[in-house]
């Protein structure tokens, strides 16, 4: 394992080696501290925290063999009272996140109904995506989507909810209202330096202090560092595999066009011979 190191950026503070944008850290932290996840979900969905009577993480484990697989997704699935809730953090904009979100909604929604049960028993299913890229052409950080009739704007059903929180649209830590817990959480996910964590710890109250303490505890463990090393290696392997495939595709494309050029040259030669023969025939008439 590579040793832990602190990176200092001139005029920008001490860069965190691990940030809350790590999907592995995200899942490990909240699996180990479900009360913090319960608090986060309540804040993001504007549900009174004390009103939640049942809260259960249904996929808390992280099998090490899964981490090494390509395109492994480290989301967290929950039962929140009578709802199914899925939350994840996504850093890379792969150009298909809307469709991907719909796919995971459909998969969770359809799998929540035991065989033989009535469709009316399907639970309200909510997808929460905290994303590190701008997805919508608006200034709002939070966008919520439901199934609505296009003209009348009436809801088809209340059993579908897609929430997106765009981190690049968040203000700087210094501008966060300390009484706005939602913004405090999102600023925590957006934090890149020790100085930002320090400010959030001082102004964010007990919840932020506990979340930051949990972060330090998880990132100090050998389990997390080993899995994160494997996770990062898998990402590099994925990127290299994609690049190699692109290169092979580029080579095949070049070979194809080279073949087209040769064929065009042959056809041009044949056409020139035909033109010469036609000119000769016309001169004899």
Per-residue pLDDT of the chain (285 residues; tens, 9 = 90+): 444 444 444 446 899 999 999 999 999 999 999 999 999 999 999 999 999 999 999 999 887 777 766 566 789 999 999 999 999 999 989 899 999 999 999 999 999 988 888 999 999 999 999 999 999 999 999 999 999 999 999 999 999 999 999 999 999 999 999 999 999 999 999 999 999 999 999 999 999 999 999 999 999 999 999 888 888 887 777 777 777 777 877 677 666 677 766 666 666 666 666 656 656 665 665
Q: Helix H segments across 86-128?
A: 97-111
Count of residues making up the chain: 285
DSSP secondary structure letters along 59-78: -----HHHHTSTT----EEE
Phi-psi region of 153 (alpha: psi -120 to 50; beta: other; left: phi over 0): left
For 236-263, the DSSP string reads HHHHHHHHHHHHHHHHHHHHHHHHHHHH
Q: 228-260: string of b/e by CB count within 10 Å (b at 16+)? A: beebeebeeeeeeeeeeeeeeeeeeeeeeeeee
Greatest pairwise CA separation for the chain in angstroms: 103
Q: Determine the Cα–Cα distance for residues 106 and 86; give it in Å rounded to an integer.
A: 12
What totals of helices (H) and strands (E) does the chain contain, helices first?
Answer: 8, 8
């Amino acid at each position: 394992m590579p040793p832990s190191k602190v990176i200092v950026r001139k005029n920008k503070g001490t860069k965190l080696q691990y940030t809350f944008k790590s999907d592995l850290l995200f899942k490990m932290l909240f699996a180990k501290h479900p009360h913090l996840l319960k608090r986060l979900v309540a804040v993001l969905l504007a549900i009174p925290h004390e009103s939640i009577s049942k809260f259960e993480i249904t996929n808390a484990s992280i099998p090490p063999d899964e981490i090494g697989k390509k395109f492994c997704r480290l989301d967290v699935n929950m039962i929140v009272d009578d709802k199914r809730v899925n939350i994840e953090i996504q850093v890379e904009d792969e150009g298909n996140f809307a469709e991907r979100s719909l796919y995971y909604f459909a998969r969770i929604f359809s799998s929540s109904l035991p065989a033989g049960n009535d469709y009316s028993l399907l639970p309200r299913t909510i997808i929460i995506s905290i994303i590190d890229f701008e997805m919508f052409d608006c200034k709002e950080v939070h966008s919520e989507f439901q199934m609505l009739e296009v003209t009348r704007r009436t809801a088809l059903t209340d059993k579908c909810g897609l929430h997106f929180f765009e981190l690049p649209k968040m203000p700087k830590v210094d501008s966060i209202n300390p009484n706005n817990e939602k913004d405090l959480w999102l600023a925590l996910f957006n934090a890149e330096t020790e100085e930002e964590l320090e400010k959030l710890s001082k102004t964010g109250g007990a919840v932020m202090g506990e979340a930051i303490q949990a972060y330090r505890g998880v990132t100090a463990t050998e389990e997390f560092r080993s899995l994160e090393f494997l996770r990062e290696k898998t990402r590099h392997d994925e990127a290299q595999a994609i690049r190699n495939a692109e290169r092979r595709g580029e080579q095949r494309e070049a070979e194809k066009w080279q073949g087209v050029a040769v064929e065009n040259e042959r056809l041009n030669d044949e056409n020139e011979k035909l033109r010469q023969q036609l000119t000769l025939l016309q001169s004899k008439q």
